[in-house]
Amino acid sequence: MRLRTLRLLVLVVLALAFSLPVAIAILAGVPRAPALWAGLAVTGAVSIAGICGSLVRTTMVREVRLTIAAPPERVYDAITDPRTASRWNPTILSLDGFAGEPGAVGSQCHVRLVNGAVLESEVVAAEPPSRLVIRSRTRPSRPRRSTVMELERTLATTPEGTEVRARRVARLPLLARALAGLRSSSDQRLARWVDDRMRAEIEAAAEPGGGRAIPRGPGEHVAVDAHERPLG
C-alpha cells in the first residue's frame, strides 16, 4: 500500500470514528457537548488501538507446493538468480544493489516494489539443488515498522519432474497482518499466477530449442525463448 493511500485511509478512519458517534448521539437527543466528547473518546480509542496494532508483532506462515516438469538442477538455477523474479512477479518494479554471487550464502540485492516499498534481501542458506532460503526486510518508514520475511524453497525429484515446496514466514505488525487479511484472496490469486508463470518459463526453457506461451498478465501471453537471458 502506497504511503499516500495509507495516510488517506488513516484520515478517513479517524474522521468516521469521530463523526459517527457524534451523529448517533445527537440523533438520540444527547446534548452537543457530550456528543462531541463521545466522538473524541471513540477517536482516541481507535488511535490507541492503531498504535498498539503497529507495535505488536505477529507471525504469518504460508506454505504452497508446485510441480515443475524440469530437473531440480534447472529449477534451482532459475530460482537462485533474483533477476528472474522480475519476469514472474508484476509487483517488482526493479532490482539493484547486487552483492555477491547470485544464490550464494551472503549474496544480497534490493527489490523495489510498485507500492513504493524496498526489500533488502539476502540468501541465508543454500544447498544446491535441493534447498534455498532468502530473508528479506522492508526498509522502515515513519508510519510503519519494518517487516521481516523468510522464503524457504525445498526441491525434490518426482516422476513428473521437481516438486517445489515454498514456505513463507513473515514477522510483521499486527495491524499490517489485519490489512493483509483484507486482501488475502487477491494476494492468493497473484501468488498462483506468479507460480504458474514461473513453472511455464522453467518448463519452456527445459524443452530443447523451443518456446512456449506464458502469461504476462491477465489474459495475456508471450512466447518465451529457451535461450532468453535474465533481465539486468
Q: What is the mean pLDDT of residues 81-99?
A: 89
- Name residue 67's beta-bridge partners: 163
Q: pLDDT-derived band of residue 228, with 50, 70 and 90 as boundaries?
A: very low
Predicted confidence at residue 232, as pLDDT, reads 33
Cα angle at 154 between 148 and 159, to 5 degrees?
155
* The pLDDT of residue 223: 36
Phi and psi at residue 167, to the nearest 5°:
-120, 115
> What pLDDT does residue 84 have?
86
Cell 544480497 sits at which residue? Answer: 108
Q: 175-219, pLDDT tens digit by residue?
A: 665 666 556 677 778 888 899 999 999 999 877 654 444 444 433
Grid cell of 90 as nine digits? 508484476
Cβ-based neighbours of 139, under 8 Å, separated by 6 or more: 117, 118, 120, 146
Angstrom distance (rounded) from CA 74 to CA 104: 16
pLDDT in tens, 110-137: 999 988 889 999 999 999 999 999 999 9
**Confidence class of residue 34 from pLDDT cuts 50, 70 and 90?**
confident
- Ranked by mean pLDDT, which of 17-26, 66-75, 138-147, 165-174 comes out on top? 66-75
Mean pLDDT value across residues 8-24: 79
pLDDT for res 209: 58
The predicted model scores a pTM of 0.66
DSSP string computed for 42-110: HHHHHHHHHHHHHHSEEEEEEEEEEEESS-HHHHHHHHH-GGGHHHH-TTEEEEEEEESSTTSTT-EEE
CATH of domain 57-177: 3.30.530.20
When the pLDDT of each residue in the chain is averaged and rounded to a whole number, the result is: 79
Cβ contact 201:230 at 8 Å: no
Of 44, 38, 2, the C-alpha closest to 20 is 38
Return the pLDDT at 140: 66
Where in the chain are the domains? Answer: 3-54, 57-177
